[in-house]
């Protein structure tokens, strides 16, 4: 499964990209607002820091506006993926972008029916929001399973990008459910490395090694 970072913090991104485990980046208006910096500048810096896809979201709500903004965003770098909302206008824009060869990430998906429409429109990625569904009493992972089944039934190329990930357990379950990608906050990414038994085992190994008085070099 591909792992994307959900961030606009270029310093954190560069640090985590050094692991070789970051496949791409997603951004949204909230993250851009928190950065306090010009959007186009932030996207350009992120695209220069990673080779993989970088989702940059339009702000317009009408099809014509989305197309204008999306083309502008796509011109920043070849790895920009234009992020559009899962609305009627958004899917019309998605279809046009697909015909123009512009990659898209259709966001704010909360049902399998929405995901079906996005795939038919030619979306490159569909972003089901797992955590937000959980917050409203549903099981977000059920949606991943449903989308996976539909896409496999009809051979859709649209990739499932699990979003609104809250924990390492979410990442694991999304992978088991067949999600192609997961976009995760930096703190969750760092938590993937950790397990108390790993740390305990290393402490024991290092303690035992020190007692030998040896050096490998």
Return the domain boundaries, the chain.
2-212
DSSP string, 108-165: EE-SHHHHHHHHHHT-SEEEEBHHHHHHTTS-HHHHHHHHHHHHHHHT--PEEEEBS-
SS3 label, residue 55: strand
For residue 51 the two structure tokens come to: 């080779």
pLDDT score of 134: 86
Helical spans, DSSP H, in the chain: 10-17, 29-35, 39-49, 63-74, 88-100, 112-121, 130-135, 140-154, 168-176, 186-191, 196-212
For residue 172 the two structure tokens come to: 């694991």
Share of the chain above pLDDT 90, in %: 97
pLDDT score of 194: 95
DSSP symbol at 86: S
Q: Which residue has the tokens 């790993």?
A: 198
Among residues 14, 34, 72, 83, which one is catalytic? 83
pLDDT digits (tens, 9 = 90+) for 149-186: 999 999 999 999 999 999 999 999 999 999 999 999 99
pLDDT digits (tens, 9 = 90+) for 54-99: 999 999 999 999 999 999 999 999 999 999 999 999 999 999 999 9
Q: What fold is seen in the domain 2-212?
A: TIM Barrel (3.20.20)
Q: Does residue 211 carry a catalytic annotation?
A: no
SS3 label, residue 193: coil
Residues 6+ apart with CB under 8 A from 124: 53, 81, 98, 103, 104, 105, 157, 158, 159
pLDDT score of 166: 94
pLDDT digits (tens, 9 = 90+) for 181-200: 999 999 999 999 999 999 99
User: In angstroms, what CA-CA distances link 117 with 1, 90, 131, 137, 189?
Assistant: 23, 11, 22, 24, 31
């Amino acid at each position: 499964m591909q792992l994307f970072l959900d961030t606009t913090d270029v310093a954190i991104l560069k640090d985590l990209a050094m692991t070789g485990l970051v496949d791409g980046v997603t951004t949204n208006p909230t993250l851009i607002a928190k950065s306090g910096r010009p959007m186009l500048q932030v996207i350009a810096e992120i695209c220069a820091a990673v080779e993989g896809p970088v989702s940059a979201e339009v702000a317009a709500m009408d099809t014509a506006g989305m197309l204008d903004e999306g083309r502008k965003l796509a011109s920043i770098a070849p790895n920009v993926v234009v992020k559009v909302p899962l609305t009627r206008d958004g899917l019309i824009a998605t279809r046009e972008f697909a015909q123009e060869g512009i990659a898209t990430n259709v966001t704010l998906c909360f049902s399998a029916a929405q995901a079906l429409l996005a795939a038919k429109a030619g979306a490159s990625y569909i972003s089901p929001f797992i955590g937000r569904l959980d917050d409203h009493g549903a099981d977000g992972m059920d949606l991943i399973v449903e989308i996976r089944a539909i896409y496999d039934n009809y051979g859709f190329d649209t990739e499932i990008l699990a979003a609104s990930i809250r924990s390492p357990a979410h990442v694991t379950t999304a992978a088991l459910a067949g999600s192609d990608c997961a976009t995760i906050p930096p703190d969750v990414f760092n938590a993937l490395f950790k397990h108390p038994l790993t740390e305990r085992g290393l402490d024991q190994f290092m303690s035992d090694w020190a007692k030998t008085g040896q050096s490998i070099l």
